Structure formats: structure tokens, C-alpha cells
Copies of this chain bind each other. A is one copy, B any other.
Amino acid sequence: MTGVTMRYMAKPTTPTPAAFGDPLYRTGVLDLLGVLAIGEFSAAERLAEDAKMAPGMPTKVAIYSMAVAEFGHFIKLRDRIEDLEEDPFEVMAPFVSTFERFHTKTAPNDWLEGLVKAYVGDGLAADFYREIAAFLDSATRELIMETLDDTGHSEFVIAQVRSAIEQNPRIGGRLALWGRRLMGEALSQAQQVAAERDGLTSVLVGGADRPGMDLAGIGRMFTRLTDKHTLRMESLGLAA
């Protein structure tokens, strides 16, 4: 089998590791990089747009800094796709409409909703990265882990949201609902992508010579993602 032959031929530092000998794995990883890349790109773009609603320039600067960090993640993912000798924009193309739908359905009404969205989205993405890292070749895994760093602004978001709720407790109820809506929309879009992209799901479920999760494992993964979302909402002082 090509996959096995190549595994023994490949050097650990090669940019296209052995696992890429399995065409379904290659397609799946490219899908994965593509979906993550367009996700980071569109998150950065929307956040920069939401920053316009910020009350004053220091807050605006903090939000732009988050957008810049997300854009930096995008650049790393784009470069990796180029290293794999694919056109990053073609690889991203199938997922553009997914994120357009997501962002249209979750357009924030004010800058606080924008902050919560960025925080919840970054966190969920990071948790998902961690979940799938084990099933990836080492080069892809390292890249994904690098983009894992949160945008370094969790503390800022937590402080802003908590202080807003302190000043007006009703905001807490609204933002809690908002967090639930974000999670619901994210899961619904994720489900749609998973249903449409066999390669992508094959990265998770494994192949003949690759480990993976079974259906129950995937179910447990979603439970873990939801649990962590709940903790994140609690750190903001919100009921999930």
C-alpha cells in the first residue's frame, strides 16, 4: 500500500509526511486546513468590523489586536496549504459559504456581543484543535497547536463582560442567551460541513492504517466541547 510504503520512506522533518500517501488523508487534512483558515480569516474580518461599535479607542484597539492575532493564525494556515503545493484560496473555497451563513446568523448587536462571540469562537476552535490533534501527522499537528494560542485577550474580554454585567445585570441574561445561540449555530454549521466532506470526517474516524474515533467517540468529543463551552461562559459570569 502506498501509504505504508511512504511512511517508511518519509523523514520526520519532511513537509509532506507519510500519512499524506493516503489520498483520503491528504484531502481531509487540506479540508481541515482550509476550514480552519477561512474560519480564522472571517473571524478576523468580522471582529474588525464589530470593533467599530466599541465605546472609545482603547477598547477598539484591544478588539483590533484580537483580530490581528486571528489574521496571523490565518496566515500560518495559508502558508501551510501553500507548502503542500495547493492554492489556499481554492482549498478554502468550499467553506466560504459556511462561515458567511454563520456570521450572518450571528451578527452582534453591540460590541459586547462581538467580544463574547470572538471569545466563544476562539475557545471552541482551540478545543476542537486539541481534540483532533492526536489524529494528525506531526507537522500538521505542530502547526495547529501553534495557532492554538488564544489571541491573548481572554482577560480583557472577561473583564469587560463582567464589568458590563456589574453595571447592568440585565446584560448578563441577554449575553447568556447570545452564547447559547452562538454554540447552537456553530454546531449546526459543523454538522453540515461534516456531512458534506468525507475527507474531513475521515481524518477524525481514521482509515485502514490510521487511528480514529468511532461514532461513540465523536459523541463524547461533542460532550467535551460543550462542557468546555459551559466553563467558558461561566468565566464570563454567564449561564451557558
Residues on A facing B (Cβ under 8 Å): 41, 44-45, 48, 56-58, 61, 64-65, 68, 71-72, 74-75, 78, 89, 92
Determine chain A's interface SS by DSSP, over half rule.
helix
| Copies assembled | 2
A112 → B minimal CB distance (Å)? 20
Task: Name the residue on B nearest A58 (C-beta).
Answer: B89
Q: Sorted from nearest, which 9 A-B pairs have the closest CB atoms? A: A57-B89, A68-B68, A48-B48, A68-B71, A58-B89, A64-B71, A65-B75, A61-B78, A41-B61
Question: Which B residues are CB-close (under 8 A) to A58?
Answer: 89
A66 → B minimal CB distance (Å)? 12
Assembled-state Cα–Cα distance A61/B37 (Å): 12
Question: Which B residues are CB-close (under 8 A) to A45?
Answer: 64
A38 → B minimal CB distance (Å)? 9
Task: Name the residue on B nearest A48 (C-beta).
Answer: B48
Question: Which B residues are CB-close (under 8 A) to A56?
Answer: 89
Assembled-state Cα–Cα distance A61/B41 (Å): 9
